[in-house]
């Protein structure tokens, strides 16, 4: 669909889940000829590993193997987004394997440390903000340093940064205070970086999907249904009822929006936070 993406190099963070947004974005970009650095964290302990947990390194490898059916130009890298040196090495792996970095997709995030505001611990709050916001900043910082070393490409520019926000980047909700705060902050980071990096022809945008029933999304559905005293069917029916297009988001919806923002067709779009919500969010 976007021939000008052929041969570009992208780092996609948090992409080691079979049903996840990151994996879907990687598949879509690979179909357009992008060379992929697929990232995830692997196993960790503490607040990062509750009942939902995080992806295993073996799952990252399995996702990569699936994408190799589309393109041989893919490598994997594990890094903790909370540790700047590891994020810097992640960017370095793109240059090491492919000689450059054109696209950063900030997808890594924590979306499972939910609960009442008064019960949230400092460790939980710090974990969510450190991954969802500070990690995105680290990735942006080191990706831009590399992009600035590269020549501007005609009708495309010097680089693309797309961060995965949320409907929670625009509106609040109960039981998700740290998540909502981090996603609002991501929009502010996107807007400020777009102003700063525009003169260097690096566009910075966010994609803000509403709920997508990934593996994490399934856990969120169960949690919220129980918290509201509803059955899962009742909760899902109510969700669909709020969406003008009448269905919950799919991973492909977000992946398609990312591919567009990475393409030359979006070279005059920056600082935006694009809703991909079926009309549920309109500002």
Catalytic residues: 179
Sheet harboring 9-12: ordered strands across?
A: 74-78, 35-40, 9-12, 103-106, 159-164, 202-209, 273-276
How far apart (Å, rounded) are the C-alpha atoms in residues 166 and 164?
7
Pairing mode of beta strands 103-106, 9-12: parallel
How far apart (Å, rounded) are the C-alpha atoms in residues 116 and 176?
8
What are the φ and ψ backbone dihedral angles of 72, each rounded to 5 degrees?
-80, -10
CB 189 within 8 A of CB 140: yes
- Those residues whose C-beta lies under 8 Å from the C-beta of residue 118, and which sit 6 or more positions away, are none
Give the Cα-Cα-Cα angle 108, 258, 82 (nearest 5 degrees). 15
How far apart (Å, rounded) are the C-alpha atoms in residues 37 and 41?
13
278 backbone φψ class: left, alpha, beta (φ>0; ψ -120 to 50): left
């Amino acid at each position: 669909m976007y021939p000008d993406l052929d041969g570009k190099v992208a780092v996609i963070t948090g992409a080691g889940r079979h049903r996840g947004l990151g994996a879907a974005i990687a598949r879509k970009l690979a179909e357009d000829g992008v060379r992929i650095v697929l990232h995830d964290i692997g196993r960790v302990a503490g607040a990062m590993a509750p009942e939902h947990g995080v992806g295993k390194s073996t799952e990252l490898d399995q996702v990569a193997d699936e994408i190799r059916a589309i393109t041989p130009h893919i490598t994997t890298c594990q890094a903790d987004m909370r540790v700047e040196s590891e994020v810097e090495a992640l960017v370095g792996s793109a240059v090491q394997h492919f000689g450059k970095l054109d696209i950063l997709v900030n997808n890594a995030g924590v979306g499972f440390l939910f609960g009442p505001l008064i019960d949230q611990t400092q460790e939980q709050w710090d974990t969510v903000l450190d991954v969802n916001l500070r990690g995105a900043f680290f990735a942006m910082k080191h990706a831009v340093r590399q992009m600035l070393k590269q020549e501007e490409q005609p009708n495309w520019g010097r680089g693309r940064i797309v961060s995965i926000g949320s409907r929670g980047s625009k509106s609040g909700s109960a039981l998700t205070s740290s998540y909502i705060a981090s996603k609002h902050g991501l929009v502010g980071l996107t807007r400020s970086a777009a102003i700063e990096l525009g003169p260097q022809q690096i566009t910075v945008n966010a994609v803000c999907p509403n709920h997508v029933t990934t593996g994490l999304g399934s856990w969120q559905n169960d949690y919220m249904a129980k918290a509201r005293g509803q059955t899962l069917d009742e909760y899902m029916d109510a969700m669909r009822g709020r969406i003008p297009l009448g269905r919950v988001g799919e991973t492909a919806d977000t992946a398609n929006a990312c591919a567009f923002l990475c393409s030359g067709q979006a070279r005059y779009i920056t600082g935006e936070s694009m809703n991909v919500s079926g009309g549920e969010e309109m500002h």
